[in-house]
A = this chain, B = another copy of it.
Amino acid sequence: MALDHALLVSLLEKPSSGYELARRFDRSIGYFWHATHQQIYRVLSRMEAEGWISAEVQAGETAPDRKVFSATAKGRVELSRWIAEPVEPEGTRDALMVKLRGAAFGDPQGLIAELEHHRAAHANRLTCYHVIEARDFSGTLDPQRALQYMVLKSGLRFEQGWLEWCEEALDLLRNIKQVKRRRTTS
């Protein structure tokens, strides 16, 4: 149920159309939640039906019509309720880890390209976050900004961690000896 609330937060920060939200989720918001436009439109309809958000159609003269959503008072209440309700930390789920561990039964070196790709992707995200940091979070910050910054900082921290880990893993893969194919129980 968390996409609902991520959208509520986004709409409280700035009323927007589904399309804008999708773009922001692809960019800056991407570092705290990820979603596709299809999903976003679906959830927006549902939330409108429940009265958490309300829409205002802006007829575009040159561009297509836009439905601009804002959070309602009811939506605010729902958000507070949800924030107060405890959640457990997420369980790990990363395909790359499965692959690494599975590579012991195949060709570890085959993962080098994959890891290099991941390293590049994480380096990319990291610089992206650094740009946002410099642009939006220098100087003194009001409480709202400070909270946003804290979220960004987790992104910075984790991308940095990924980067270092990728290096470490690449080192290992490059130096590992070719594993002998061992038959376990067929």
Q: A165-B154, A179-B144 are in contact. Are A80 and B107 (CB under 8 A)?
A: yes
Q: How far apart are the CA atoms of A121 and B153 in the complex, in Å?
A: 20
- Asked whether A94 is an interface residue with its Cβ less than 8 Å from the other chain, the reply is yes
75-106 of chain A: CB within 8 A of chain B: 76, 79-80, 82-84, 86-106
Q: A121-B89, A186-B72 are in contact. Are A147 and B2 (CB under 8 A)?
A: no
Contact between chains at B101 and A147 (CB < 8 Å)? yes
118-160 of chain A: CB within 8 A of chain B: 118, 121-122, 143-144, 146-148, 150-151, 153-155, 157-158
| Contact residues of A: prevailing secondary structure | helix
By the criterion of a CB under 8 Å from any partner CB, how many residues of chain A are at the interface? 80
24-63 of chain A: CB within 8 A of chain B: 30-34, 54
Residues of B within 8 A of A6 (CB): 98
Residues of B within 8 A of A179 (CB): 143-144
Contact between chains at A103 and B83 (CB < 8 Å)? yes
A106: which of B80, B92, B113 is its contact (CB, 8 Å)? B80
Q: How far apart are the CA atoms of A71 and B182 in the complex, in Å?
A: 13
Q: How far apart are the CA atoms of A151 and B83 in the complex, in Å?
A: 32
Q: A6-B98, A103-B83 are in contact. Are A161 and B157 (CB under 8 A)?
A: yes
- Which single residue of chain B is at the shortest CB-CB distance from A77? B106
Binary contact readout A149-185 vs B (1 if CB under 8 angstroms, 0 otherwise): 0110111011001101100110010001101000011
The 7 A-B residue pairs with the shortest CB-CB distance, nearest first, are A34-B91, A104-B144, A32-B97, A9-B102, A70-B185, A80-B106, A2-B95
